[in-house]
Amino acid sequence: MKSSFRFAPLVLLLVSVCSPSFAAPPAALQHLRGTVTAPPIPTTNGDQTFTISLSTGVVKVIVPAKVGVAELIPISKSTIKPGSFLGIASEPDSSGRQVAREVVVFPAAARGTGEGSYPWDLPSKSGGHSRMTNGTVTSSSAGAGHSKMTNGTVSASSVTGVTLTYHAASGSGTQSIVLPDTIPYVTFLPGSLKDLIVGAHVFVIGIKNSTNFNAVRVLVGKNGLVPPM
């Protein structure tokens, strides 16, 4: 996996993951994608630390007591129905259509968080054009554009794709995305530091200083799943 929460109620966890800090992170926030090499251990000030292996080496991650962990588990594409709230990371194909690289199906309680469209940092084959877009699906057509992460509510879907509409302070818009059957479809579950076992794959949002990485949110794949976002 390339480099680039103590549990609160699930709704609060997902809102905090999907909106401001996750969906549209300030420039100071960074993402780490890696594999746990040492499980969390407590520090003298009540934080926890664990280490992850990246393509560039091993990084020590500090997890403050207020930061929680969420698990990611596989989910069937067939669960996507009108009214579903989704997060989709996509990239353009050779014809310019947006093609999903992964889909996150959010619980209904997280509907509407983090709407908008902004650059993302997927390990990319499209020249670094990946984006995250949070929005509401309003049709089953699949369209074109640069890569995006799209979170929204499904109003119609098909085996070929969905169209998400988003409303944000920065503006409103739509994005149509092809949904391949072969990509990961995942959802969130409550997690804990105990899930950060050696070999687990993680996606960590945080702030890097000269020696450590201070986590703001931690997502961990269950049973070997690699967080696809």
Full DSSP string of 171-224 = EEEEEEEE--TTS-EEEEEE--GGG--TT-EEEEEEEE-SS-EEEEEEEEEGGG
Res 87: pLDDT = 85
Which residues, 6 or more positions from 14, have their beta carbon under 8 angstroms from its beta carbon?
70, 106, 107, 109, 110, 113, 188
The single-letter DSSP state of residue 2 is -
Res 152: pLDDT = 63
Which of the four CATH numbers 2.60.40.10, 3.65.10.10, 1.20.210.10, 2.40.50.140 does domain 10-72+186-224 have? 2.40.50.140
Q: Where are the domains of the chain?
A: 10-72+186-224, 79-185
Q: Which tokens belong to 171?
A: 């503006």
Q: State the sign of the Cα–Cα–Cα–Cα dihedral 214, 218, 223, 225.
A: negative
Note whether 113 and 14 are within 8 A (CB): yes
- Whole-prediction pTM: 0.79
Enumerate residue ranges in the chain where pLDDT < 70. 1-27, 109-110, 113-114, 124-128, 137, 139-159
**What is the number of other CB atoms lying within 10 angstroms of the CB of residue 117?**
27
